[in-house]
Amino acid sequence: MVPRIRHLISLRPRTGSGLPKIHPMPSTTPPTHSNRRLWLAYAGGCLLTWLLFVLGVTEFQPGLWQFWEAMYQASLSLWPPMLLGLGVWPWLGWLNRRQRPLWALSAWHLLGALLFGAVWQLLDFCVALWLFGSPHAQAMLAQAILWRALWGALVYLALLTAFSAVLNARRAKQLELAQVQAETALARAELSAISGKLNPHFLFNTLNSLIALTRKDAKAAEQGLLRFAGMLRYVLAEKRGASERVALQDELEFVRDYLALEALRLGPRLRVNWQLDPQTLLDEIPPLSLQPLVENCVRHGIAPLPQGGEIIISAQRDAMTQALQLCVRDDGQGCEPGQTDGQSKAGSSGGVGLSALRRRFALDFEGQARMQIHTAPGQGFRVDLWIPQY
């Protein structure tokens, strides 16, 4: 019997190596920040300041000639700080790239404010010297040296505040992106771990059923082994990544083989009612989504009852959202609703925990899939799945 089974297995086409396929995560490396928007905003701020200066002067001296004079004064007074403001950004970046205590950083910024005011006065003096001569330039310097130093410190502080806000916003965005990447990696790792738990558990229970069956009916055991070979191919020879999908009809075929194998052991005590909408058979679901639910129904709802029971498996389309609605229920003994994730139906004797399945759907569909459990003592057990289709 065993050589024949080996021959049949070898005739089945192999499309995979039996090893899990590793799919690299899409790169989410943050792109290099472009300063184009920064300098456009800076130019807009400079233009707005220039316009406010002009409007402020003409408010007290209305008239066309006064308007042109206000434009001249605004341009002559504001071009030095606007030009020097371009250097505050790299200066701030240089300071932030080096870890310094607060007192040292404050000292550097004080030095920057003094230099900003000093260079502003130097540029004003040079322009006055070029346009009006040395006596006028010296007189303007002596008259405005104190106020220019004060205005230099205030403008430097305003530019420092604005540029620091931009840097902090970029840093916060990078941290948020890094956190999202870490959460995504954790979710994929948890999903892979959950999927890895299901396969060995199912194989262990199936092998136990086949061993028990060989002692009762060798021919039935051979048929069961043939079905088991097909299920092995589904689970192992084409083992999929945790984030991949299979067609619903493939998962249902896998469940049919499993139920046929259990029927060899339980006989007429196991009854199955299929309620499938043909339009849903090509919908995609995560592999091994239905089989653990059906296995729980068989082991904890049907097998303990002397008279057995019925399992109903249904699939239909949500008319509003076009999502896939799956339902697996039995008419067994049921349990208390608070015990579904504890030591009763979902977890006793090595059963697959429904909390693991719920976590799997939550990770795999980013919270868009739903899983609901309905049960009560003597009222059977029912699990409803709502899986979006993209």
Where residue 237 sits, what CATH number does that domain have?
Answer: 3.30.565.10
Task: Please tell me the distance from the alpha carbon of residue 174 to that of residue 208, in angstroms, as a whole number.
Answer: 52
179 CA to centre of own chain:
10
Q: Are residues 274 and 381 in the same domain?
A: yes
Q: Are residues 241 and 363 in the same domain?
A: yes
Cβ neighbours for 272, distance < 8 A, ≥ 6 positions apart:
259, 310, 311, 312, 313
Task: Please tell me the distance from the alpha carbon of residue 304 to that of residue 332, in angstroms, as a whole number.
Answer: 9
Q: Evaluate whether residue 198 is within a structural domain.
A: no
Q: Are residues 363 and 230 in the same domain?
A: yes
Q: Evaluate whether residue 256 is within a structural domain.
A: yes
Q: Are residues 221 and 357 in the same domain?
A: yes
Domain count along the chain: 2
Contact status, residue 354 vs residue 373, Cβ threshold 8 Å = yes
Q: Are residues 297 and 372 in the same domain?
A: yes
Q: What is the pTM of this model?
A: 0.52
Q: Evaluate whether residue 23 is within a structural domain.
A: no
What pLDDT is attached to residue 148?
77
Nearest to 383 by CA among 269, 245, 352, 364: 352
Task: Please tell me the distance from the alpha carbon of residue 122 to that of residue 248, in angstroms, as a whole number.
Answer: 78
Tokens for 265, please give them.
Answer: 């052991």
Q: Are residues 111 and 224 in the same domain?
A: no
What pLDDT is attached to residue 350?
39
Q: Are residues 365 and 248 in the same domain?
A: yes
Question: Which of 174, 206, 227 lies at the terminal end of a domain, its last residue?
Answer: 174
Q: Are residues 159 and 221 in the same domain?
A: no
Work out whether the CA dihedral 90, 92, 95, 99 comes out positive or negative: negative
Question: Which of 141, 174, 207 lies at the terminal end of a domain, its last residue?
Answer: 174
Question: Which of 148, 174, 200 lies at the terminal end of a domain, its last residue?
Answer: 174
What pLDDT is attached to residue 12?
38
What pLDDT is attached to residue 16?
39
What pLDDT is attached to residue 18?
36
Task: Please tell me the distance from the alpha carbon of residue 155 to that of residue 373, in angstroms, as a whole number.
Answer: 64
Task: Please tell me the distance from the alpha carbon of residue 260 to that of residue 231, in angstroms, as a whole number.
Answer: 11
Domain that holds residue 56: 39-174
> Which residues of the chain register pLDDT less than 50?
1-33, 237-238, 342-351
Residue 169, exposed/middle/buried by CB under 10 A (0-12, 13-18, 19+)?
Answer: exposed
Q: Are residues 251 and 129 in the same domain?
A: no
Degrees, nearest 5: CA angle 108-109-114: 100
Residue 252: half-sphere exposure toward Cβ, Cα within 13 Å: 22
What pLDDT is attached to residue 190?
61
pLDDT digits (tens, 9 = 90+) for 323-339: 999 999 998 888 877 66
Q: Evaluate whether residue 194 is within a structural domain.
A: no
Q: Evaluate whether residue 70 is within a structural domain.
A: yes
Q: Evaluate whether residue 200 is within a structural domain.
A: no
What pLDDT is attached to residue 249?
92
Task: Please tell me the distance from the alpha carbon of residue 281 to that of residue 192, in angstroms, as a whole number.
Answer: 25
Q: Evaluate whether residue 58 is within a structural domain.
A: yes
Q: What are phi and psi of 218, to 5 degrees?
A: -65, -40
Q: Evaluate whether residue 130 is within a structural domain.
A: yes
What pLDDT is attached to residue 63?
66
What pLDDT is attached to residue 313?
95
Q: Are residues 167 and 243 in the same domain?
A: no
- What three-state secondary structure class fits 241? coil
Q: Are residues 260 and 377 in the same domain?
A: yes
